[in-house]
Amino acid sequence: MPIKKVIAPQIDFSGLRQELRLPEEFPAAVLADAEAAARDTALPATDRTDVPFVTIDPASSRDLDQAMHLSRRAGGGYRVRYAIADVATFVAAGGPVAQESWVRGQTVYLPDGRIPLHPPVLSEGAVSLFPDADRAAVLWTIDLDADGATVAVELERARVRSRAKLDYDSVQQQVDAGTAPESVALLPEIGALLARRAADRGAVNLPLPSQELERDGEGWRLVLRAPLPVEEDNAQISLLTGMAAASIMLSGGIGLLRTMPAPKPEAVEKLRAAAASLGIAWPSGASVGAVVAAVDPANPRGAAFLEQAADLLRGAAYTAFGVQPPEAGGNGNGGSVVPGVPELTGHGGVGAPYAHVTAPLRRLADRYATEICLALHEVRPVPDWAVEALPRLPKAMSATDRIASAADRGAIDLAEAVLLEHRVGETFEAAVLDREEPSEKRPPQGTIAIDDPAVRARCLGDLPLGQRVPVRLTTADPATRTVRFEAA
pLDDT of residue 326: 46
Q: How far apart are CA 120 and CA 118, in angstroms?
A: 6
pLDDT of residue 439: 86
Q: Are 430 and 450 in contact (CB under 8 A)?
A: yes
Q: How far apart are CA 447 and CA 483, in angstroms?
A: 11
For residue 155, give the H/E element and its range: strand 150-167
Q: How far apart are CA 125 and CA 109, in angstroms?
A: 18
Report the candidate in 49, 42, 22 with the shortest Cα–Cα distance to residue 106.
22
Residue 184: CB atoms within 10 A of its CB come to 25
Q: How far apart are CA 262 and CA 312, in angstroms?
A: 8
Q: How far is CA 57 from CA 61, 187, 310, in A?
A: 6, 14, 25
In the 3-class helix/strand/coil scheme, how is 84-97 assigned residue by residue?
EECHHHHCCCCCHH
pLDDT of residue 7: 53
Report the candidate in 110, 314, 306, 286 with the shortest Cα–Cα distance to residue 226.
306
Q: How far is CA 290 from CA 61, 243, 281, 310, in A?
A: 32, 20, 11, 15
pLDDT of residue 458: 94
pLDDT of residue 384: 94
Q: How far apart are CA 355 and CA 316, in angstroms?
A: 12
DSSP 441: S
Q: How far apart are CA 8 and CA 215, in angstroms?
A: 9
Residue 151: CB atoms within 10 A of its CB come to 11
pLDDT of residue 340: 65
Structure confidence by residue, pLDDT tens digits, 100-142: 999 999 999 998 889 999 999 999 999 999 999 999 999 999 9
* Domains of the chain with CATH codes: 13-257+340-414 (no CATH), 265-312 (no CATH), 422-487 (2.40.50.140)
Report the candidate in 4, 1, 58 with the shortest Cα–Cα distance to residue 226.
1
Report the candidate in 349, 348, 155 with the shortest Cα–Cα distance to residue 241.
155
Please return the burial class of 268, using the count of CB atoms within 10 Å of its CB with bins 0-12, 13-18 and 19+: middle
Residue 82 bridge partners (DSSP): 68, 140
Structure pTM?
A: 0.90
Chain length of the chain: 488
pLDDT of residue 8: 54
DSSP 421: T
Which residues of the chain, if any, have pLDDT below 50?
1-6, 326-339
Q: How far apart are CA 23 and CA 102, in angstroms?
A: 12
Q: Are 52 and 331 in contact (CB under 8 A)?
A: no
Q: How far is CA 1 from CA 303, 431, 474, in A?
A: 12, 16, 29
pLDDT of residue 350: 94
Residue 216: CB atoms within 10 A of its CB come to 14
DSSP 364: H
Report the candidate in 41, 150, 33, 143 with the shortest Cα–Cα distance to residue 89.
41
Rounded to 10 degrees, the C-alpha dihedral 411/261/376/396 comes to: 40
N-terminal to C-terminal alpha carbon distance within the chain: 27
Q: Are 226 and 1 in contact (CB under 8 A)?
A: yes
Strand segments, DSSP code E, in 21-92 are 53-57, 66-72, 78-85
Q: Are 240 and 142 in contact (CB under 8 A)?
A: yes
pLDDT of residue 330: 42
pLDDT of residue 436: 86
pLDDT of residue 369: 98
Residue 211 bridge partners (DSSP): 224
